[in-house]
Structure 1
Amino acid sequence: MQWLVAESVWWGGRLRTGVALRVAPNGLVKPVPAELAPGGEDTRRFAGTLLPGLVDAHVHSALVDLGTVRAGGIAEVWDLGGVPARVAELAEQAREAGSALPRVRYAGPFLIAPGGYPSDRAWAPAGSWREIVTVADAGAAVAEASAAGATLIKVTAHAGGPQLELPVLSAVVAAAHASELPVVVHAEGPGTVAAACSAGADVLAHTPWTERIDDSLLQACAQRMRWISTLDIHGWGRPDDPDREVAVDNLRRFIGAGGTVRYGTDLGNGPLPAGINVREIRLLQSAGLTPDGVLTAMTESGSSTVSWLPGGLDPDPERFADALATARVLDADSRLHSS
């Protein structure tokens, strides 16, 4: 058993004082009253604020340096499409004691229609997609991904090329849910968000940006799925990007309808910072998230990783993003992992 004590702790959606973190032998972290922490060497003390490990829920490991991502403050990533054996190898390396990599949760290959996105993209390596033709094939593809260690299933619905028919997409979702695996859909273009929602998908890999989502569909999405933000891929900080404006408007209305957002950047897609993305955080704020809301979007409720803000959490909306960008990841033995 280990104990972490800091000046403040952000956990469970709010900033607290008088709280310590108890790290169980299995790695599970739980906030408890600070007076329970013993005074010996099993207790590590820090200035500033401790919080659950920060998560980027949309990364492509083959296109980035994960060590740099962790040094930049990200404790965990979701790999949403890659060569299964390679991503599994990275995930195994990340679990090793003293690893300099973030924890990796992964979806395995993109599940696609024959000839569909992203098999026609130069950035997608051979083996990073798996074509599906029939309903029976859908079940087999999910079983293969699960056997390879995937805890997510990624499907593409791209209006610019071949797409899975709705019965096949629905069969993927049904097979995944039977194995208790959430389904993430890359939905791009007219009709794709509606198809993902109708099929029962759990997560959209991107906030929709190609069109304004009508209110009835947006309400349906808010009731049954989460959206991963990925707002900064539109313009990478350039002003007045029209796709970004559409995406922020859709996300603002989604949040207003009660929808749940996950912070994710699509890291590997263009000139995005390898670590905490201040621009993404500010765009989430512009879409209506408070600082507590942003942290909720960036963390897991049952975290086994811990992040540290040496200067403390600054809840002022104007200063929040820059302050959060100073976060660093604590190693399993509670020592600071620095770049």
Structure 2
Amino acid sequence: MRVAVTYLDGEEWRDGVVAHAASGLRVIPEADTTGLPRLDGVITGGFTDHHVHLQLVDIAPLAGSALGRVVDLGGDPSVLSELRIVEGVEVLFAGAFLTPRGGYPSDRSWAPAGSVREIADEDAAERAIVEMKESGAVRIKVASNRAAGPVFSDTLLRAIVSIAASHRIPIVAHAEGPGEAQRVVRLGAERLAHAPFSERLTDAEISGQAASAAWISTLAVHADEAYGIAIDNVRRFRSAGGTVLYGTDLGNGPMPVGLNPREIGALREAGLDDADLLQCLAPVDPTTAGSHPLFYPGATPDTADPLLARLLTPADLEA
């Protein structure tokens, strides 16, 4: 069975064909759709959660979820390097947190063994970054939590950013406490692991952040004042042209192992519509071998609500 379909290749909506092959359902790009029935709805690949901690959850529910890719931002690199594909979901990771001696989360009981490297100087930073890269890490995670202990000096943090850049691996920073979000971005962090929640940034600061860094949302892990601050910051950051990436901090308290409706709801509260949400969710290309296409019944590219997406089934081709 073959049907014509409109699908998102990760960047643009295109026309193609869905075929039922021996290996499963496959989206075929640039195929001839002449005379074929058309699927009533649209297709994307599985979504990306840009902030998870796989060692803190039961990963079995990833199978059959709407996720196609996850990015682990803090765990034992020797464990994470064995999890390149989990239940059909691509796993990218940063490896261990880099933090000063005694810094967050070195004293946290939830931090898995091997998930923290305490960095005293540039030599230790070089060793740790090489270790993470050789394990397969695609990010370096820096902890800069002034609310929970010491943070790197400007000099050492700038050196860490420079060392990581020399290895062509970007920095994602956990920034918490007054001034930390501004400081880590000023010193070269390209991504914040959490949308700023410790303080309301000024409009000028928001504009500077929008031009310099991307924010991973993680809005739903907050409550009360921190939630309101984060929502307001994201709303203005997005209006200033900033890049917001969907992330849940999976493992930080009870939440679904899959798409998180509370995070989607928080992003909507911050002013993002369906098209914005798909950008944040960064769906994988459904034409990629091994991907599991998501189906949005009855939807168009303008009305593809992520919460209505489900795995495409052979029965959908016969409807």
Q: CA deviation at 1:138?
A: 1.7
Alpha-carbon distance, 1:192 to partner: 0.9
Q: Which amino acid aligns with 2:221?
A: I
Shift of 1:198: 1.4
Deviation at 1:30, TM superposition (A): 8.9
Alignment partner of 2:262 out of 279, 282, 292 = 279
Kept after mapping to 1: 8 A contact 2:94/2:139: yes
Report Cα offsets for 1:165-195 as digits up to 9, x if no partner: 1111111111111121111000011121122
Alignment partner of 2:91: what SS? strand
The runs of at least 4 aligned residues of structure 1 exceeding 4 Å deviation read: 3-6, 12-16, 36-39, 300-303, 314-317
1:153 and 2:140 correspond: yes
1:309 aligns with one of 295, 309, 313: 295
What is the alpha-carbon root mean square deviation over aligned residues?
3.0
Using structure 1 for the length normalisation, give the TM-score: 0.80
Counting only pairs closer than 5 Å after superposition, residues 39-118 of structure 1 correspond to structure 2 as 48-91=41-84, 94=85, 100-118=87-105
Q: Distance in 1 between matches of 2:172 and 2:315?
A: 34
One-letter code aligned to 1:322? L
SS in 1 for 2:82: helix
**Which string of whole-angstrom CA distances, capped at 9 and with x for unpartnered residues, describes residues 300-327 of structure 1?**
576743431252446787x935313xx2
Runs of 5+ unmatched residues, structure 2: 20-25
TM-score (norm 2): 0.85
Amino acid at match of 1:19: G
SS at match of 1:71: coil
Return the alpha-carbon distance in structure 2 between the equivalents of residues 36 and 133 of structure 1. 61
Distance 1:312 1:276, change over 3 A: farther
Compute the displacement of 1:65 (Å): 2.1
Paired residue for 1:10? 8
Q: 1:101 to 1:33 in 2, by over 3 A?
A: closer
Contact 1:138 / 1:172 at 8 angstroms: preserved in 2? yes
1:322 matched to 2:307? The reply is: yes
Whether the 8 Å CA contact 2:44–2:284 is kept in 1: the answer is no
- Matched residue type, 2:203: D
Instruction: Tell me, yes or no, if the aligned pair for 2:210 and 2:242 is still in contact at 8 Å.
Output: yes
2:32 corresponding residue in structure 1: 35
Percent of aligned pairs with the same amino acid: 38
Residue 104 to residue 46, structure 1, CA distance change in 2 (3 Å): farther
Q: Are the equivalent residues in 2 in contact too, given 1:314–1:323 (CA < 8 A)?
A: no
* Residues 177-228 of structure 1: per-residue CA shift (max 9 Å, x gap): 1121111000011121122111111100001111101222221111011000
**Cα distance in 2 between the residues matched to 1:209 and 1:4:** 48
Determine the C-alpha separation between the residues in 2 that align with 1:38 and 1:130. 60
Query: What SS does the aligned partner of 1:261 have?
Result: strand
Alpha-carbon deviations, 1:215-263, whole Å to 9, x = none? 222211110110000011114xxxxx22111100000111111100110
Question: Which ranges in structure 1 are unaligned for 5 or more consecutive residues?
Answer: 23-28, 40-44, 236-240
Q: Which residue of 2 aligns with 1:142?
A: 129
| Paired residues of 1:4 and 1:20 also in contact (CA < 8 A) | yes
- Work out the CA distance in 2 between the residues paired with 1:37 and 1:265: 42
Residue 26 of structure 1 corresponds to none
